[in-house]
Amino acid sequence: MRPGNTCRVLLVTLLLAPTTLLAHTVNYALEKASVSHVVGFYLRLGIQHIIPYGIDHILFVISLCLLSTRIKTILWQATAFTVAHSVTLALSMKGVLVAPGAVVEPVIALSIMFVAIENMLLSELKPWRISIVFLFGLIHGMGFASALNEIGLPRGAFYTSILSFNAGVEIGQVVVITGVFMLVIIPFGKRGWYRKWVVYPASIAIATVAGYWVVMRAFF
């Protein structure tokens, strides 16, 4: 089965999984807070969901940086991922798209393993890679929504809270991409041994950790 078809099957399975439709919980503590306080709270929460607590999302973003040393290629993937998870984050918090964490979390881990393995099998970006990243971004957005729903959103500030949280997530992702680019790609990306001694070991390590998460999240 082609990678694109595999991802579509996973996404359809995820969206059709039986679940109870739930709207987002209410954060009563911020009901009467000022706009600036709400923005600051959810912006910080979004950043923290990536750095330092989102190790799975960090590994996914790092994996996106390993297939190519060209910043344009990395940004295309990051943009597809951003657009996708922004859509499902909002829709999930509205209760339009809801999937159980027991399904979402293993699939997030599987997406990390998939991209890491693909980094070892391919030497350049293929047309389907952007589509794959977009589809996995949809799933990651549901994961973001699950975490955000534990905190809740103040009534009357839904979009302010969502946009602030999403902006925080993006800041965290940009920090990760910048770190990989500055510390790994710029100094080593043009070396002849880059794939052998950087891409392969890093991808093997990421795939191994993600594979462990798949098993733990699916069966334990």
97 in a structural domain = yes
74 in a structural domain = yes
195 in a structural domain = yes
Q: Using the 8-state DSSP alphabet, how is residue 196 labeled?
A: I
What is the pLDDT, as a whole number, of residue 53? 93
What is the pLDDT, as a whole number, of residue 6? 52
53 in a structural domain = yes
What is the pLDDT, as a whole number, of residue 3? 56
65 in a structural domain = yes
What is the pLDDT, as a whole number, of residue 99? 83
113 in a structural domain = yes
- CA angle, residues 213, 52, 146, in degrees to nearest 5: 60
Could you give the CA distance from residue 73 to residue 164 in angstroms, rounded to a whole number?
Answer: 26
What is the pLDDT, as a whole number, of residue 191? 95
- pLDDT mean by block of 10 residues, the chain; 220 residues: 53 44 71 92 95 95 92 88 92 86 93 96 86 93 89 89 93 94 95 96 98 95
Cβ-in-10-Å burial (0-12, 13-18, 19+) of 182 comes to exposed
Helix (H, G, I), strand (E, B), or coil: what is residue 153? strand
Residue range(s) defining the domain that contains residue 140? 34-219
58 in a structural domain = yes
126 in a structural domain = yes
What is the pLDDT, as a whole number, of residue 50? 94
Tell me how many domains the chain contains.
Answer: 1
